[in-house]
Chains A and B, each alone.
Chain A
Amino acid sequence: MDFPSPLSGDLVAALVFPGVLGIFGFLVVAIWLERKLVARVQWRYGPLYVSRPLGGLLQPVADLFKLVFSELVLPRHTNRLLFAATPILLFFAEGLPVVFIAAAPGVVMAPHSYGLAIAVVLVLLVAVLMVAMAWTEADKFTYIGAMREILLTAAYEVPLLLAALAMFLLYGTADPHKVVEVQSGLWGVLLNPLAFVVYLVALLMATTRFPFEIPEAEPEVVLGPYTEYGSTLFIYAFGANYVKLYVLSLLGAVLFLGGWLPAAGVLGVLITLAKMGVFVLPAMLVRAIYPRYRIDQALRIGWGQLLALSAAAVLWSLLAAWIW
């Protein structure tokens, strides 16, 4: 730990990265980046006028302000407490896995020898809250959105678990520090490319990115689970998706790209941040490339090709570990 006291590693992890500042900063930068990248493909400029010298970087902040000051509507026929509480719970629950993931040596909130495994499980558990949120809204479109969310979760969670399992088997540990240590020779993506591919596709499904943007398909179910929310609650409900992307990118960077290697300390944190881009940028760009699948097609992919690929990834790891 080469941070000056009184800044201990876990405090930095909680407050700066990968904690609070990282999550909220990511919200702004990711939304801006997504708009800018997609606009570049689509013969547009994207955000431009708010903070022109920064290339419109503050546009998402302006949008957040706008949303905060718009009227908050709590439908009368819903359970109003749950209606208001679930998006906030969802937002923070999506961020929870960060507690167990290290961004640099020592920069982790709760070091645990099964840290990464716990993080994966937490990511999968949060889907329940999303369904609860859609259910509380008591609307036909959110109901269908919830159903699609459940089905999509069923499609990606086994492959995601198997991809993570493949890496844990290969490394022989789920401790974030040891996982990165093992990768000092070769990164995980080279050790088991199959698992990496499965992880990337499962990440797109888990964060409902295109072509799997099925629960919130606009022409069919308006905005799916988010339909009834406005104002601040919409920020929490919709922001939760970006938090999930943040968490899964961080997890992926540690699991497959060697985390903070080859540096440590502040530079290590920055390297982790840069490696997250490997997962974030494709997740943004697919919006400009793909339409969305139908839910039955997504399920077929999840339970067909993706499951087979993830099973092969586990076998690959077993073989590699055996030969090693």
Chain B
Amino acid sequence: MQKTEWPFNLEVGRTFFVQSEEELRGGGRGLTLVVGPQHPGSGHMRLFVVVDGDIIVDVVPDPGFVHRGVEKLAENRPYWTLIPLVEKASIMDSMNITYPLILALEKALGLEPPPRAKYLRVLMAELSRVRTHLYDLALLGVFLGHTTAFMWGFALMDMYAEVFAKIAGARTTIAYPVPGGVRRDVKPDHVEAVKRLLEVTRRKLKDFKTLFLDNPVTKARLEGVGIVDAKKTAELGVVGPFARASGIDYDVRKVHPYDAYGDVDFEVVVEKDGDAWARTLVRWREMYESMSIVEQVLKALPEGDVIDQALLFKNPEYRREGVGGVLGVYTYIYPEPGEYLAVAEATRGATLVHLWATGLQRVHRMRFVTPSWRNLRAMVEAMKGGRLADMPAVYMSFGYFPPEADR
């Protein structure tokens, strides 16, 4: 009887990272596990895990299963349709992931959002930060076998989806900001909804902490697991809360404050240990920081328009048609030729957009670097030397999100 085993008859070089199972390091002793893409612990990716006994000797990632070619697609579209394209990279975090694109487009178009729009963007960005952290914590929970953390995290997330639907009109892919402002203004009952949401979140997070974070088993699974020290973190180019968990005090919101981030007061959460537990704690504390930012924004929310005056003047019917009428204006304004770079702090780290504009309404090239992609190397390095059971713990402690990495 003929036994078939991966990689079947795959030609060398057909996949992105791994050519054949034999090329993997680890010698004859290791057992090569093909984890994914149809494995409950892999997400939309594949990991070749070589284990020697229970110890992981080598991990080779094979990402790209959900590559949609966002950068290439962006070259064939008018710039105002890039927002819904780019946000699909990370749908939970759509506000933050589109932020750098919006900032770059505003530079290219010479637009400046009014103060109220700036505050509203920060409001939505921080709400979606809490939501994405909840998503990652929920998945960390279920990867450790804690189904209650998973259910509670997703239940809380759904409340955020409802509030997003109220404010932006969509539950998940909100496409809220537009160059020069935001798509919709908030009404008093929206503000009330956000306040109630924060209150409920704080109350439920207490239970969440008792059952999940303070659980001795959770601590035993995460402490001292997947350590990446500060030097290695810097070398591997880790970003976001995962770099801050190794003691690197860097947050784009503080270093290059964009929109209203200069006006709000918040602390950059930093931990020293660099293990899975530190990465979890950083994200946990960041949720509270984000909620405090939202409260400050609600308190200091300025009155006025939510779209740049320059756009309003181009559409005299604005008062009658609302913001929707303004969007048509984009069809007859053109980006200034040149290169535009913008960085914003998305939930999982710094996101970069680099636009090459040639004066056409289609950008010549858009470079889009997402945080999960930059964290992949460190995630894989952190898995090595751990036990097989540490693999999912390290995986979700990096909040790795394949659609965001593959874009």
Contact = CB atoms under 8 A, between A and B. Distances in A.
B111 interface: no
A141 B1 CA distance: 21
A144 B388 contact: yes
Contact of A217 (B39, B145, B146, B155): B145
Given A43-B155, A297-B220, A291 B33 contact: no
Interface residues of A, number: 32
Interface in A210-256: 210-211, 213-214, 217-222
Nearest to A294: B389
A214 B389 contact: yes
Contacts of B146: 290-291
Interface string B186-211: 00000000000000000000000001
Interface in A281-324: 287-297
A41 interface: yes
Nearest to B42: A219
Contacts, number: 87
Interface string A152-194: 0000000000000000000000000000000000000000000
A179 B54 CA distance: 43
Contacts of B388: 144, 220-221
B247 interface: no
Contact of A210 (B40, B54, B145, B387): B145
A170 B41 CA distance: 47
Interface string B137-165: 00001111111110110010000000000
Interface in B372-397: 387-392, 395
Nearest to B146: A291
Nearest to B53: A147
B73 interface: no
A52 interface: no
Contact of B151 (A43, A211, A290): A43
A292 B392 CA distance: 12
A289 B148 contact: yes
Contact of A77 (B1, B155, B389): B1
Given A220-B388, A294-B387, A295-B389, A213 B3 contact: no
B215 interface: yes
7 contacts: A42-B155, A213-B145, A217-B389, A220-B41, A220-B388, A292-B145, A296-B54
Interface of A: 38, 41-44, 76-77, 140-141, 143-144, 210-211, 213-214, 217-222, 287-297
Q: Which 10 residue pairs across A and B have the least CB separation, nearest first?
A: A219-B41, A219-B392, A42-B151, A291-B144, A292-B145, A291-B146, A294-B389, A291-B145, A218-B40, A219-B143
